[in-house]
Amino acid sequence: MFRFLFRRRAWLEPVVYVAIVLGLYVSGWHTEVLGRAQQALLSTGLWQPRLSAPQPATAHTTSPAADGTFLLLPLNQAGPAVPFSQLRGKVIFLNVWASWCPPCVAEMPAIVRLAKRTNPDSVAFVLLSLDQNPDKARRFLARRGITVPAYSPGSPLPAAFQTQAIPATFIISPTGTIIGSHEGMAEYDTPEMLGLLRRWQKRK
C-alpha cells in the first residue's frame, strides 16, 4: 500500500510541475517569473555591459537622431508622436525591449535606477518597445510603475537600431552619433555607465 502511494506521488510531481508551467504560460506570468529570476543573476554584478563601438566605416556618421524621419509614439506619457531628432543635443540611452522578453524585464529596474541618477535636461532615456500590441507594453509599464519615457515605433525602425536580439541598448552622443551598443541583458546602474553618460553630456 505504501509503495503504491510513493509511486503515485512520483507520478503526480511531474504532472503538477507541467501544470504549473502551462498555467504560467497561459496566464502570461512566465515572463515575469523568468524576469525575476534573471534579475537575481544581474544582482551578482556578473552581467556588466560591454559596449561595442560602431564599425570604422560608420563610426562618424550620424544616427537617425539627426534626420527627423523616425517617430516615437508615447506609451506612458500624454502627447503626440515625438520626432527622434527632437532629442538631439542630449546624450540618448536607447533600450530596445518587449514585455514578452524575460531578459528585457530583468534589466529594466536597473535602467530605471540609472535614469533617476541622471539629469533629464542632458540625458534622454528612450525605452523603445517592439510589442506588436502597444497596449501590452502599456499594461506592463503601468503594472511596474515605470515612468521613464517609453515609446513604440511610429515609423519603420531605422537600420541603425535593428538588432538580432533583444534587449539591445544604444548610447548616442548629443551630435547624433552612435558611440556604443550592447546586445543582451546587462546591469546598467553602475558607476561606469553613469560616468560614461556624464562625460558625453559635456561634449555638446
Of all residues in the chain, the percent with pLDDT exceeding 70 is 66
The mean per-residue pLDDT over the stretch 60-69 comes to 56
Task: Give the three cell numbers for residue 78.
Answer: 500624454
pLDDT of residue 6: 46
The count of other CB atoms within 10 Å of the CB of residue 62 is 17
Report H helices in 98-167.
Answer: 102-116, 134-144
The answer to whether 201 and 171 are in contact (CB under 8 A) is no
- State the pLDDT at residue 96: 97
What is the identity of the amino acid at 113?
Answer: R
* pLDDT of residue 118 exceeding 50: yes
Query: In this prediction, what percent of the chain has a pLDDT beyond 90?
Result: 58
Domains and CATH numbers, the chain: 1-204 (3.40.30.10)
Asked if 68 and 83 count as a contact pair (C-beta separation under 8 A), the reply is: yes
pLDDT tier at 95 (50, 70, 90 boundaries)? Answer: very high
Q: Decide if pLDDT at 200 tops 60.
A: yes
Say if pTM beats, i.e. exceeds, 0.85. Answer: no
What's the mean pLDDT in 110-136?
97
Q: Read out DSSP for 64-99?
A: GGGTS--EEEESSS-SS-EEGGGGTTSEEEEEEE-T
Element (H, E) at 23: helix 2-27
CA distances from 45 to 42, 66, 183, 187 (A): 6, 35, 17, 7
